[in-house]
Amino acid sequence: MKKQILYILCFCSLNSYSQSAHSLLQKGDNYYNSKDYTQAEENYRKALKEKKSAQGSYNLGNSIYNQERYDEAVKHYTASAESAKDKITKSMAYHNLGNTLFAKKEYDKSVNAYKNALRANPKDLETKYNLALAQRLLLQQQQQQQQQQNQDDKEKQDQEQEQQEQQQQDDQQQQDDQENKDQQQQNQDQQKEKEEEQQQQKELSKEEARKLLQIMEEEERKVQEKMRKVQTKKSKSAKDW
C-alpha cells in the first residue's frame, strides 16, 4: 500500500484552492500522520466540499482505507485517478485502487487497476510486483472457482441420480404393491368361485340323492306291487282248487 499522502504546497494553493480548502487538507494531513484516520477523513471531506481535487479524493481514500471501509475507498480512489491531471497522482491513485480491490479479493479488477497504474508510471516496481501477485492469485481463484463449480456440478448430478433412483424405487414399489393387490383380488375371486362351485356341488348332490331316493322308492313300490300280484294269484289258485 502506498501510504504516503499527497501534500498541497502553499504556492499551489493560491492558484488551485481556497484558503479554507487548503487549511482543511493540511489539518487532515496532520490527523492522518498521527493515525487519527477518523478526524483525517472528516477534514478531507470538508476540504472536498470546498473544492473538488484529485489530491483530496486520494487522501480521503487513504483515510477510509485505513478504517477498512474498502467499498468507499474504491469510490474515492477511482475519482482521484479519473480526475488527476498528472501521471504521478494518477499512478498512485490506480495503485491504491488496485490494493483496495486486492484486499476485497477482487483480483480481476485489481489486475486492471495495477495495469492502469503502470500505464501512467511504467517504472513503478512496487506496482509491477503487486500486479504479478494479483495475477497469480487471480489464477488460483479461478482454479478454485472452477473446482468448486465442478464439485457443485458433481453434487447436483449425484443428487439428481439419487432422486432418479429413489423415484425408480418408489415406482417399482408402487408397481409391486399394485401387483400384490391385484393378486390378492384374483385369489379372493378364485376362492369365491371355488366356494360357489362347492356350494353348487353340494346342492347337486342333494338333488341326486333325492332322485336316487325316488328311484329306490319307485323300485320298492314295484317290488311290493309284484309281490302283491303274486300273493293274489296264489290265493286265487288255492281257492279254485
The answer to whether the beta carbons of residues 62 and 96 sit under 8 Å apart is yes
pLDDT (0 to 100) of residue 7: 41
Query: So what's the pLDDT on residue 121?
Result: 97
pLDDT of the residue at 189: 87
Query: Could you read off the pLDDT of 41-84 as tens digits, one per residue?
Result: 999 999 999 999 999 999 999 999 999 999 999 999 999 999 99
Decide: residue 203, CB within 10 A, 0-12 exposed, 13-18 middle, 19+ buried. Answer: exposed
- pLDDT (0 to 100) of residue 97: 98
Strands (E) in the chain, as ranges, are: none
- Using CA atoms, how far apart are residues 14 and 11, in angstroms rounded to an integer? 6
Whole-number pLDDT of residue 234: 63
Using pLDDT thresholds of 50, 70 and 90, give the confidence band for residue 218.
confident
Domain boundary assignment for the chain: 20-144
> How much is the average pLDDT of 232-236?
65
Distance CA 187, CA 195 (A): 12
| Cα 33 from Cα 90, distance rounded (Å) | 22
Note the pLDDT tens digit of each residue in 83-137: 999 999 999 999 999 999 999 999 999 999 999 999 999 999 999 999 999 999 9
* Location of C-alpha cell 360357489: 196
Record: fold of 20-144:
1.25.40
Amino acid at 78: T
Sign of dihedral through CA atoms 211, 215, 221, 224?
negative
- The predicted structure's pLDDT at residue 227: 78
pTM, two decimals, is 0.63
- How is 64-97 classified by DSSP, letter by letter? HHTTT-HHHHHHHHHHHHHH--SHHHHHHHHHHH
The pLDDT value recorded for residue 13 is 30
